[in-house]
Structure 1
Amino acid sequence: MGCHHRDEDAPTRPTTRITYHYPNGGWTFNTDRKKCTSGDPVPIPHRYFQSGDFVIGGITSQFSVPFAQNNFHQHPSQLQIDENIVLTKNYQLLLALVFAVEEINENHQILPNITLGFNIYDSYFNAQHTYYATLQLLSTHNRFIPNYKCGIQNNLISVIGALYTRTSLDIAEVLGIYKVPQFSYGSTPWLNEKADTISFYKMVPSEAYEYIGILQLLLHFSWTWVGVLTAGGDIGERFVQAILEVFPTRGICFAFLERFKTLYFSNLLDFITLFVSIFNVSMESNANVVIVYEEHVLNFRLLLYLPEMGMGTMEPKGKVWIMMTSMVLMSQIYQKTWDIQAIHGALSFTVHSNEVRGFQDFLQTRSHFETKEDGFVQDFWEQAFDCVFPNTFLSEEREKICTGAEKLESLSGLLFEMNMIGQSYNIYNAVYAVAHALNAMQSCQHKHRARTDRMSNLQNPQSWQLHHFLRTVSFNNSAGDKISFDQNGELIEGFDLVNWFIFPNQSFLRVKVGRLDPCASQDNMLTIHDESITWHRSFNETMPFSMCTESCQPGYSKRRQEGKPFCCYDCIPCPEGKISNQNDMDDCIKCPEDQYPNQVKNSCLLKHRSFLSYEDSLGITLAILVLLFSWLTLLVLGSFMKNHSTPIVKANNRKLTYALLISILLCFLCALLFIGQPGMVTCLAQQMTFGLIFSVAVSCVLAKTLTVVLAFTTTKPGSRMRKWVGKPLASCIVLSCSLIQVGICAVWLGVSPPFPDVDMHSLTEEIILECNEGLPTMFYCVLGYMGFLAIISFMVAFLARKLPDSFNEAKFITFSMLVFCSVWLSFVPTYLSTKGKYMVAVEIFSILASSAGLLGCIFSPKCYIILFRPELNNKEQLIRRKI
């Protein structure tokens, strides 16, 4: 951009004289200023646009618009080159520049006394032409002599360009030397060492934010299995390296990664073969989401059109295409009839834009053919409206005559849009940024001028002087958006997330469904309105899934498949004791100690406390049995006490019999200590009481057995055992045997006594409240000693079983000890194999069974005689050999 000083007292601004030239098939706008002498511009034959992009420069700015290289027909054998093909949609970029300049020139609040003008060149997307056009901006008008100023001069202030990264870098390599501000309005170039980054201003936010946006978009919808189609060359490799470094760390895998290659007509067959291969890979993959990083949308459209051309072995499938900022949905003339339904439901990050007031009226009311030197409008018009002007050669294929009265609004959105697109919006803002910077520089010079020659500096501002003001420029444009740059020269702005809605008539609608805000925290940059998104029809309007393996539901964990990416896995059930409460968990987790997994292993349930209580049916049953056997024991004891003078009671030591019955009664009652919630007192009393009472009972049985043996032994003449028969012997046996058990229990209490404990692990669904034996060895010592007494009693009774029946209890004692030993021998493995309250129930049952065995086997025959055969309970009957 340049400036032209106007005297302050002038009533109006001088008008801009516009002359058009075709140095590169483009146009040039110049202000009406001359120095030295210069001849009239020498016309250069018009050249059709083969490839490349516009470079807007000169006094104003520079930008780029891509043109196609080739024309694709229905079959690859018919592929031809047509040098008269343009991308009509990009003509709007030129008009956005014209609109911005005219709007500024008509606004007396901005740049008073200064008129803006601009030059436009075509770079043909070629480095040689780009360098040539850039050097022309630094040359005298119509003379390719860089740094030489004579004749009609272009006071170069800034450059706007280009649409594509490669062209922007080529321009920057030249302009960086001169410190000329350069504005990139399309792709954000990756500046290299040759480019002067200080002179570069980016109207598109950094691509790094766009990468973050794509990542957050994938994570938002849980798309972990995606394909990638990327451009070839350094630009594509930069993108690939960026996503390969970050995406896998967030759980994103790549189903495929295919690269487009530059089209060269010398190897057209290889080019088509490559596209067919890319199409087949894309359609064959089960990835429903594909990221497309390609500056040239024409390649992407060709890829989607391959099935219509009868190419590709795979049937086309619906995909969610995620497109980058640089991709604008456009069409060449030969692509006008190509179906774009495959793009329906696509998502793309686009440069934030708003509708600029007056732009549509400008497009509708502008007389596009009044400027006869416009080297672009005729080709644009013919291509857009598929017609030819009368002075042009009429081909047989296209004979429609252009009138110039055709309406731009009647064109398809693929060819031309009446709404300002993102790139046009950037050009509009870039022009205004230069204007505001020039305005600030003018104000600064007016405030601080001390000499009269300051005005000459204003009339000839140097481009490098503009940087200070561009870095601090900040204004609201006519659409209400704030425009300013950060310290890196990047526009402080975000991206819009756009959802593409394709109508059956090939028209389309861009629906903003989200916003990428670089000022937010990294994990919250992207805001998405899910309910506003329309998906491809093949997904039945529901959000598609894109995962290598269907999500592992809660209750399962992932196991990676060998030889495949980490996103590919098998779902295996959680092992016992573990759960997974989320989808796609890498490993199952354990529940807290007081909880256990539910049946499907997707959540934890609270364990219930378990102990043998009186409210439990098992506890009630055992308590009733205890009371029943205790009542029976009392009946037996009462019967014996009532008939204490009868011979059958007096036989075999009456007091020893009472002691045995009382100990059996206590054995039954001690079982009640095991029912109820364990406490410190009950835990100490349970095993100790059980061990001591049973030792007394078995000692009494042993004493009775020895008494019988000694009784019959002392009847022999001269027996020395007579003095041992009697009460002292029985009492000594009972007391000594019991004291040994008391000693064992005392050691137990001293070393490691029982205590109440909580067992959370033995049973899955229960927390067992139990009495911990403290030192299990001592518990088995108590059982072992009790078993030792029982075995001695059994052996003695077994040896005495053949003594005269009338005075002999040995046979009954033998049976009782046999039952007693059998119960406690079976108790040990059963006790060890059960858990919780059932383990306590086993011990209670063993107590009841062994006690009942003693009561039944020893006292039932005598009770039978006392209660039912009292006639046998006399001395005469007892001295007989048989009852």
Structure 2
Amino acid sequence: MKNAVARQQGDIMIGGIFPIHDGISRQSENTFSQDFQCVGVLPHAQLSRKRKLLQLRMSKCAGLILKITEEKKMAAVNSADRICTEGLRLRHMIDAMSMIYSIEKINNSTLLSGITLGYEIYDSCSSALKAVQSIMHLIPETVAVNNSTNCSHTEIIPTIKAVVGEEYSEMSIAISRILNIHLIPQISPSSSSVVLSDKVKFPSFLRTIPNDNHQTLALAKLVATFGWNWVGIISSDDDYGRSAVEHLNIFFKQEGICIAFTKIIPTYIDHPDLADSLNNIMNEFMIESNDFYPTDVVIVIVKTQIVSKLFEECIRRNITKTWIASDIWATSNEVSSAEEIKRVGTILGLNFKGGNIPGFADYLKNLKASKYGEMNKFIAEYKNLRFGCTEDYIKYLECINSSSKYCALTDSIEKKSPLACKVEDILSANDDYLLQIAEWRAEYSTALAINAIAQALRNILCKKGKCEIDLNLSPSQLLDELKMGHYYFNEEKFNFDSSGDVLTDYDIIYWKPTNNTIEFLTIGAYNTTGGKVKIERNDILWHTNDNKVPFSNCSKTCMPGFFKKHSDITCCYKCLKCPEGYYTSESDMTECSKCPFYQWSEYGSSHCTNRTIQYLEWKNPYAVALIVFAAIGILTVLLIAILFIKHRDTPAVKAAGGNYSYLLLSSLLFSLMSIIFFIGQPSNIFCQIRQPFYGISFTLCVSGILIKSLRILLAFESGKRGRKIVLFQPIIIICVSTFLQICICLTWQIVKSPYLSELYSVPKLLLLQCNEGSYGAFGIMLGYIGLLAFICFILAYKGRKLPEKYNEARCITFSMLTYMFVWIAFIPIYMNTSGMYVSAVQVFAILASVYGVIFCHLLPVSYIVLFKRNTNNTERYLNSIRAFWIKKPEVSFPQNKVIHSSPSNSILRKRCRSF
């Protein structure tokens, strides 16, 4: 009791442990460890330094082992009792005041009529060992020396029925292991470690907040809300920090977030490795990688004092980040009041939802130490800190009054009131300073804890409105009731779930710079039951130059037109351009989509465009050239036709075929006209017409040349010409040969006719061209014309010695060879050409074939008619025939006579007429 910082006697006592001070020092020669016998907690204690654990042997509790890790300045045997000497932590003092106020308010109410609650509050000095020592003072019955009672939860009834505290998880873990032995309820207002939800290890631990599972999930959801996927973590080297990191890893994976680095930092401010740890963190911030972007977002899960040291280093090294605070420092006035705190960047945080404690604000503004006497030590200490006239403060005032440029402003001086050194009775002085630094969250959770205990006691002790004191009430009874009941505070209902937690929501806090201070602005919330984050982004002033959300991704966003190629780290990737024909319309797509067949995209495109339709257009230079040649050919054929008609009675025209020469001219004209079906936008009709149109036309042409060659050969070479000339019917040959080509074309159209084809094989283009349907039928059609041309070639070769005026062997040979060479060359060129030039190739072949006939057959005759008129008479042609007969050794005539002398003109004329 002598070590309690606040105490008030009551019918039922409630213990409290709060980290009211920052540090501890030794008191001389007081012994902490003793030899305990079995009293339900600590029987015969024997310590083995080598094994670093305290093995506890109990008469009926054999096998219980309590592990206590040794620390450099925390020896477990003969250690001196610690007292708190470091700075007063006002925030936690207010939490203790919340407990006192709530108990007094309950005592002044009818909730426990006739029963008063008392309290005994200890200061843990932010030390786990000091917290354990405090528990020993709170429940001395359970650790009495030489107590030989059995290990039962009810045989020894502790005076303290419940304990409120501790606030830090690692301290709650330490004291809960002791309280668990007798199932003394422990209700923490802010210890959030997930470890404490294990009811096998910590059956008597409860808390009025959610566990860190919810906080770490909320942190992951908050990071994901801003689109960050590359964050750093700084956590404390204790159960609280390690558990938080473990769960963050799990939830980050679910949200697609990667951890850039994890830094573990010592828990205590005086740890010898703290400076090195901070230096390593600063170096991590300075590292630049060619592969990954530096993270701008850092989650900090450490104590307030450590955060202050961390930010001091950041300010000194000019490091600016986006910091996300855990509940432990999300609304810390100690951190927010640091000099130049704005330079560290943007600070967001999560904290438990607070609430209003009716009347508590007025209570804090009217604190009176005399009311509590000697049993509320921290009130008097606070009054001295706030209003006391210390030597340091007097020197500071003198420095200020001397207009010195630099006056040292310590933490204690900063807490001084303007009334310091001016009030006579500092114990009665008051102001609203505590209201300015109060956070209203842990205080509210503390009030929930006290009210839950009081209402559970009412359920046990009060029947029909009357309450009876039961000194034999065991803490385990109270624990059972606490777990089962539903409680009310400020008209809000709450209860402890199966893990001993109260599921409250989280506030999202933004540290808003206002003038020279920081305002803790609630900008959103996280719902623990629904797992949803709601946030007002417009309330945040980011530290970036353009006030936009900072970029904290491992890789930059892949813009439309690019896709992500992941590395070994899932959040890190390279942005590669989509290949041609593929696109991405949104950012950060993992693969490119293929364009529809009728569309195309360039390399690195964000959308597809319609393909350019391509065919042999009329305005195409190649088409224009072909059309010009076709037009020249048509004009030439028409002029020759006119010339032949005008000079149809001349021997030259008659020798060129007479009336059949008009058939030849017509077929050439049709062949040239077929070219129009090969140029311009193709259609199914054009595709089906163009090949038969040309094939039949040119077949007619070659047939005309064939009968011409055959007639001359029969006239001059046949032994029995008269009979054969009579049998020779040119029209039948022309009809039969043309009919066979018509049959080939009809069969082609019926079996597999040509059709319009759309080709997408060429990038950017939609090629319209005619597919011949059956290339075999196409080949047969051309091959048939080639066969006729070959026959003409053979007949021309046989008639090479005929009369000069009738001998066109060289012309026919050349024209037919031209045709065959052209079309033989056409086949491989045609098969290896695509697009609009397929039509151009065939048009060229058609022109070459037609021009071959024109140049070899028609132009020589036209030349004779126009420029050799003196030779274009019957006499000259008769002389040519006479010269041919003279060279023949014998000639058979129709009268079966052999003539050895030159034939008379009348006979030659008859011969010519028969020809």
Residue 260 of structure 1 aligns with which residue? 265
Shift of 1:533: 1.2
The equivalent residue for 1:576 is: 580
Partner of 1:187: 191
Give the length in aligned residue pairs: 790
Distance of 2:694 and 2:212 partners within structure 1 = 82
State the secondary structure of the residue aligned to 2:13: coil
Amino acid paired to 1:491: V
The residue number in structure 2 matching 1:5 is none
Kindly indicate whether the alpha-carbon contact (under 8 Å) linking 1:229 and 1:294 is maintained by their aligned counterparts in 2: yes
For residues 667 and 541 of structure 1, the distance between their equivalents in structure 2, rounded to whole angstroms, comes to: 76
Structure 2 counterpart of 1:296, from 297, 300, 303: 303
Shift of 1:227: 1.8
- Separation of aligned partners in 2, 1:805 and 1:369: 151
Q: CA deviation at 1:319?
A: 0.5
Query: What is the CA-CA distance between 1:700 and the residue it aligns to?
Result: 3.5
Question: What is the CA distance between 1:346 and its match in structure 2?
Answer: 1.2
2:664 maps to 660
Aligned partner of 1:291: which letter?
A: V
Counterpart residue number, 1:779: 778
1:517 matched to which residue of 2?
527
- The equivalent residue for 1:316 is 318
Q: Percent identity?
A: 26
**Matching of residues 140-289 of structure 1 within 5 Å:** 156-191=160-195, 195=200, 199-248=204-253, 250-263=255-268, 268=272, 270-285=273-288, 286-289=293-296
Q: Give 2:371's aligned residue.
A: 370
Cα deviation code 1:799-844 (max 9, x no counterpart): 8778665334445445544654565456556545554445345444
- With 315-324 and 115-124 compared, the bigger mean Cα shift is at 115-124
In the alignment, the residues of structure 2 paired with residue 615 and residue 438 of structure 1 have an alpha-carbon distance, to the nearest angstrom, of 101
| Structure 1 residue 91, shift from structure 2 partner | 1.5
Query: Partner letter of residue 601 of structure 1?
Result: S
Taking the aligned partners of 2:649 and 2:867, their CA distance within structure 1 comes to 17
Q: Which moved more, 1:811-820 or 1:579-588?
A: 811-820
For structure 1, which runs of at least 5 residues remain unmatched after alignment?
Answer: 1-20, 34-57, 72-80, 310-314
Cα gap change, 1:128 to 1:587, in 2 (>3 Å): same
Give secondary structure in 2 for the equivalent of 1:806.
coil
Aligned CA distance change for structure 1 residues 371 and 670 (closer, same or farther; 3 Å): same
The 3 A distance-change label for structure 1 pair 437 and 572 is same
Question: 3-state DSSP class of the match of 1:282?
Answer: helix
Cα deviation digits, residues 832-877 of structure 1 (max 9, x gap): 5554445345444544554455446533444566678878754346
Q: Could you tell me whether the CA contact under 8 Å between 1:101 and 1:431 is conserved in 2?
A: yes
User: 2: distance between equivalents of 1:808 and 1:702?
Assistant: 14
What CA distance in whole angstroms lies between the structure 2 residues aligned with 1:786 and 1:387? 125
1:479-628 alignment runs, 5 A limit: 483-503=494-514, 505=516, 507-520=517-530, 522=531, 525-536=532-543, 539-560=545-566, 565-598=569-602, 600-607=604-611
CA apart distance, 1:291: 2.9
Whole-Å separation in 1 of the counterparts to 2:807 and 2:370: 141
Amino acid paired to 2:210: P
Match of 2:400 in 1: none
- 725-734 or 570-579: bigger deviation: 725-734
1:473 aligned to 480, 486, 490, which one? 486
SS in 2 for 1:327: coil
Q: Distance in 1 between matches of 2:315 and 2:857?
A: 104
Shift of 1:299: 1.4
The change in CA–CA distance for 1:217 and 1:666 in structure 2 (over 3 A counts) is farther
Relative to its length, the structure with more strand (as a share) is 2
Name the CA shift for 1:805/1:384 in 2 (closer, same or farther; >3 Å).
farther
Whole-Å Cα distance in 2 between the matches of residues 370 and 802 of structure 1? 150
User: Secondary structure at 1:553's aligned position in 2?
Assistant: coil
After superposition, the C-alpha distances for 1:641-684 in whole angstroms (9 at most, x for unaligned) are: 56544433322433543333333233234344456766655544
Q: Report the Cα distance in structure 1 between the residues aligned to 2:793 and 2:370, rounded to whole angstroms.
A: 129
Give the structure-2-normalised TM-score: 0.73
Write out per-residue CA displacement over residues 172-226 of structure 1, whole angstroms, 9 at most, x where no aligned residue. Answer: 3333444444333213122366755664433222323333333333333332222
Q: Tell me if structure 1 keeps the 8 A contact 2:185–2:475.
A: no
Change (3 A) 1:347 1:625: farther
Q: Distance in 2 between matches of 1:458 and 1:796?
A: 140
In the TM superposition, 1:319-398 aligns within 5 A as 319-330=321-332, 338-368=339-369, 370-372=371-373, 373-383=375-385, 388=390
Contact 1:140 1:154 in 2 (8 A): yes
CA distance in 1, matches of 2:623, 2:390: 104
User: What is the TM-score of this pair, normalised by structure 1?
Assistant: 0.76
Q: Could you tell which deviates more after superposition, 323-332 or 824-833?
A: 824-833
- In 2, distance between residues paired with 1:389 and 1:460? 51
What is the one-letter code of the residue matched to 1:242?
H
Displacement of 1:356 after TM fit?
4.2
Native 8 Å contact 1:169 1:195 kept in 2:
no
Does the CA-based 8 Å contact 1:123-1:130 persist in structure 2? yes
Deviations 1:675-707 (A, max 9, x none): 676665554444344444434433444444455
**Over residues 702-728 of structure 1, what are the superposed CA-to-partner deviations in whole Å (9 max), with x where a residue is unaligned?**
4444555x26xx536x75788766884
Letter matched to residue 222 of structure 1: G
Q: Among residues 396, 417, 422, which one is paired with 2:441 in the alignment?
A: 422
Matches within 5 A, 1:780-819: 780-787=779-786, 789-790=788-789, 806-813=805-812, 816-817=815-816
The answer as to whether partners of 2:98 and 2:446 remain within 8 angstroms in 1 is: yes
Aligned twin of 1:29: 8
The amino acid that maps onto 2:279 is: V
1:446 matched to which residue of 2? 464
Offset of residue 231 of structure 1: 1.9
The CA distance in 2 between the partners of 1:849 and 1:878, in whole Å, is 32
Gap change, CA 1:337 and 1:527, over 3 Å in 2: closer
CA spacing shift, 1:608–1:642, aligned 2, 3 Å: same
User: Take 1:726 and 1:362, find their aligned partners in 2: how far apart are those partners?
Assistant: 143
Residues 492 and 242 of structure 1: CA distance in aligned 2, closer, same or farther (over 3 Å): closer
Change (3 A) 1:727 1:639: farther
User: What do residues 379-400 of structure 1 show as CA deviations (whole Å, max 9, x unaligned)?
Assistant: 444556685499xxx9x99997
Shift of 1:509: 1.0
| 1:725-771 deviation digits (Å, cap 9, x = unpaired) | 68847557656655665565566557644344443x22333444544
Question: Are the counterparts in 2 of residues 363 and 418 from structure 1 also a CA contact under 8 Å?
Answer: no
Cα distance in 2 for residues equivalent to 1:609 and 1:542:
46
- Rounded to whole Å, the distance in 2 between the matches of 1:702 and 1:873 is 24
The separation in 2 between residues aligned to 1:684 and 1:458, in whole angstroms, is 112
Q: Specify whether residues 725 and 281 from structure 1 end up closer, same or farther in structure 2 by C-alpha distance, changes over 3 A only.
A: farther
Measure the CA separation in 2 of the matches of 1:792 and 1:61. 125
**Cα distance, 1:677–1:807 mapped onto 2, change above 3 Å:** same
Question: Any stretches of 5+ residues in structure 2 without a counterpart?
Answer: 26-82, 397-407, 414-419, 882-915
